[in-house]
Structure 1
């Protein structure tokens, strides 16, 4: 059952869609570059940020067109596409063998199948890697997922591998990468246009709102009282990522993506870095 707040937010999101379903941005917030340069210096990291207010189309961007590993953020986009493909059969079961269960599969472990809805729930809310692979498999593998993204208008995001090897990233490796602008824009396309029918859209938004992995990232960087839905990711070189829809009280939603990484292969991912980047980006819409 979709809770009333999701229905209300869908009305806001739909009102912010563009007539031809192509997401555009026409006005920009003041360039925040110096603040983000200092943030990178403090954390010895690279930070990519793109945020857009769907009511005004005002933007905040920093390294918005630089490639980063997308890590598990892909699961939100893949879930939306799978929900659309199986809108009339969400109780269909995706079967898998014990050999197909991979690391970090808190929901799929010990089972031999998940329904479409359970798979999407596990992938988005718990970042279950086996569930993520089931989504990719249903879409025709990484190539099929990439093709589906192209059909949505995303010419940037590229999927090449499955979990967990897609997280084995390194500087200069463009496999399984995207940009902050592309990820936020594709999430906006899924949530604000009719490319995703109302029922799959409602389910995806509900799953994002009930995500269990973003308390120390997006929720730590978002003002109290704002509604938050997100999908996080973690990869090599201390890569930590988050894509989200956040809604200030009484205002249109903001779509954003924050992607961070380090130059040291053994670097640890830093939730505080992501939270601070999100806080800084959202300040421009206050």
Structure 2
């Protein structure tokens, strides 16, 4: 039985691993416009201006890039307990921890591919210091004066050995619903997009061509406008940040996009999906064929080869 939509409210934050912490911090603060909100050991905590929690992103020093943890906030204590029970019933191991500032008890578990997922409810609402106080009381923080000024952490795209198994887990154990997918000629699912709310997607699973487990394709930050993404492209050009592809528009989900590699090696997407919501409670799963995807993106840009090969951590 599918759990009720809404037990997981939204993606809370992501922890990225980076071999170049200083470079990664400069990228996320000076180029994207996030604000540093504390350090602990090898980790730096950053936040977008429109996030209400302590942090949106954690950067942790590591020998290789990749994703360590993706944290999902439940909609209530009862919802958290339901999803923890469902996770245990599904046969996946887990443990309780309280190891992040501003966040209460977290249930640490994994998806079928080994990506660490943290489920939590208790959270500290951000209180801006005087120098970051916003002009409007319904905004957590003043808009940044530097960089793009991304609004929020939007979604995470995981690489997975078995897309269908992982998507089914997120759907039936955590309560997401699938909105779009790619079905290959052999009948297998090459990628699947899922949402926990009325956004068109929060988590994506994409087939990992290496057959590896637990790797990252990209994380994405939402901007206010398409023009912000064009500005981001110029900022990346001026600051020697590698642009992989875009700006352009996806056919799937219709997202205006730019993909770059941050200094640690992780792929980052800047996207503008703010105008597209899935409001229909009976939204039909949209399936794209291999032939349809071969046509490229919405306006004809062909999908760059590295989009199918680059992931973190890298595989030799």
Fold similarity call, TM over 0.5:
no
Query: Which structure has more helix as a fraction of its residues?
Result: 1
For this structure pair, what is the TM-score category when the shorter chain's length is used for normalisation? under 0.3
Could you tell me the TM-score, scaled by structure 1's length? 0.28
Q: Structure with the greater relative contact order (CA < 8 A, sep ≥ 6): 1 or 2? A: 1
Could you tell me the TM-score, scaled by structure 2's length? 0.26
